[in-house]
Amino acid sequence: MADIRVLEDRVVNKIAAGEVVERPASIVKELIENSLDAGATRISVTAEAGGKKKIVVEDNGGGMLREDLPLSLLRHATSKISGEKDLDSIASLGFRGEALAAISSVGRTRIESRRKGFREGFAMICEGGKTGDVFPVGATEGTRITVGDLFFNTPAREKFLKSDATELTHIITLVESYSLARPEVAFSLRSSGAVIIDLAPASNAKERFFDLFPELDRNDFHDVNFSRDGLSVSGFIADPSKNLSTTRYIFTIVNGRLVRDKLIQGSIFRAYEETMPRGRFPLVFLDISINPSEIDVNVHPAKREIRFRRPGPVSDLITGELRKVLHPGERQAYRPTEIQPSQSGPAPSFIREPLPLIQGESPATDAPRFTPAPPSDFRVLAIWRKGFLLLDGPQGLSIVDQHTLHERIRFEQFRKFIDSKGPARQFLEPRGYAVPRALVPRISELAETLSSQGFEAEVMGESSIAVRSAPAFLEESEIDPLVEEFISEGREVLKTHKEILKSVLVMRSCRGSVMMGEPLSVEKAQYLIDLLVSMKAPLTCPHGRPIMFTLKSEEILARFGRR
């Protein structure tokens, strides 16, 4: 008996399902793309139990004829391409002809469709790859596909799915992304009887973007619009200071297709380099148009990635044009400054003064005051080029980055408070914070995590969190930005809330720290050095950059031949 055998169609479909159907959101993606290719101007999605129990995608597109229904469930049966030559200029979103075959092999699928201009609709049911007969139904023009009991016949794959809330978050993110790619189309998403997304057609992507994310400020964004060498790009990008620890708000569309392309993302990151801390990412929307023959969209089973035939020029053009938007004027040449002499005066209030009291608060005798232990073994000699401290230390001459120094100190202060559950400041009235729709399914988790990290928080209504108190360590001006950024960072579904909060604290530590080029006296610098040493903290900032570099005494002596 031969060792090599041809697999049965049912087995082949399940293998394809492993590539196409990773999770419920994968099904939603394929069905939305089919709806868009069918010319739909209205698409509605329903997801129950995070899509594991049931997914319904309904559109008002062109619909299918009776004889098309059984063909739609065959592998490599498609209306998108007709021959080999079409592979060189694919313009549709779907074209492989295996999505419905793969989906129907791992779920209970019902297809209802009525062709535009026809009086009668038809339906067909498929369970685990076994198809039934086509029968007439009363249906509106367009197509309605229902997928139930996902992975009911492949329990080994079902166990890898996440919680209902997490899977729903993936679906929400997907619907948001496609609504941005096609703003002229109306989108809706429902789950457990609640409307999560309900978007009327928008005039352009920017209007749709701020309909989706009203918590973002339009004034933080700059328009992008350029065209050269057959490549046209439009969109908008945020100021570098408005950044997150997730790529959640990076949307890139190529010829109407939502992609997560490494070349494009790398081009964006290079445009922002030198303006953003490591591990932080910008908010970007780019709609790219290019001749279909210049890209290959057939390089990934789920069509998430593409390949440019001339990647170098494309990358350079995107990076260069985005940098022009971010830096509209020529940057002045760097001019070294003289070493600053010692300045008298106490340490600044933002470093060591007690926190200001808010209205109605009584002075707390145990309010956290982070003061250094006895003076350290380091002595600040001078400030070099408005950013580097020159120290005489036990091992020789040390050079310290003033920004990373203060950043580490603030991070340790945040962490110390969270670990020890220090005193809190009560508000006269609860403060309400809106929760984005993608996080509504996890709102209880969010409130619980905030409470575990020093805030007194609880769910208020369907989509907001009430905070009654905050850590006393926080400046009044820091409380709202910290909570708002924590909520925004919560969109990263692959992180735990504790990890999200840590990333937010890292960023808040950075934003509140003394910056490079900001004047700092020798006395103030000495205070910071002594404070850092007393904390016994690592000599790196929370982002991993070094704080101190030391030229050892013996090395300096050897340089001058005085060993």
The domains of the chain are located at: 9-203, 216-326, 367-551
> 185: which DSSP letter?
S
pLDDT at 334: 32
Partner residues linked to 195 by β-bridges: 190
9-203: CATH number: 3.30.565.10
Chain centroid to Cα 316, Å, comes to 24
pLDDT at 7: 53
pLDDT at 511: 55
Three-state SS at 540? strand
Alpha helices by DSSP H, listed for 424-559, are: 443-452, 476-489, 497-511, 522-535, 553-559
pLDDT at 8: 63
Going along 299-443, which residue ranges are E strands?
Answer: 307-308, 379-384, 388-393, 396-401, 424-434
Tokens 């062109």 — which residue? 62
Alpha helices by DSSP H, listed for 159-217, are: 164-181, 205-212
Give CA torsion, residues 212, 217, 222, 227, to 10 deg.
10
CA dist., res. 183 & res. 204, Å (int): 6
Burial (CB < 10 A; 0-12, 13-18, 19+), residue 191, is buried
pLDDT at 9: 60
Q: Which of 389, 417, 392, 415 lies closest to 403 in space, CA to CA?
A: 389
Q: Which of 107, 95, 157, 151 lies closest to 300 in space, CA to CA?
A: 95
For the stretch 119-178, pLDDT in tens is 999 999 998 778 889 999 999 999 999 999 888 877 777 778 888 988 998 999 899 999
Structural class in CATH, domain 216-326 = alpha beta
Structural class in CATH, domain 367-551 = alpha beta
Amino acid letter for position 183: P
pLDDT at 163: 87
Run means of pLDDT, 10 residues per run, the chain, 563 residues = 56 53 90 92 96 95 90 64 46 57 87 93 88 91 93 78 89 92 95 92 94 88 93 93 83 88 91 78 93 76 74 92 81 36 37 31 39 80 90 93 86 72 84 86 84 86 91 79 78 53 59 66 89 84 81 90 80
pLDDT at 418: 65
| pTM of the entire predicted model | 0.65
Token digits for 483? 């909570």
For the stretch 281-307, pLDDT in tens is 899 999 999 988 888 776 655 556 788
Backbone torsions φ then ψ of 502, nearest 5 degrees: -60, -45
CA dist., res. 140 & res. 353, Å (int): 69
Three-state SS at 496? coil
pLDDT at 496: 54
pLDDT at 386: 81
Going along 208-338, which residue ranges are E strands?
Answer: 221-228, 231-238, 250-254, 257-259, 284-290, 295-296, 307-308
What is the largest distance, in Å, between two alpha-carbon atoms of the chain?
Answer: 100
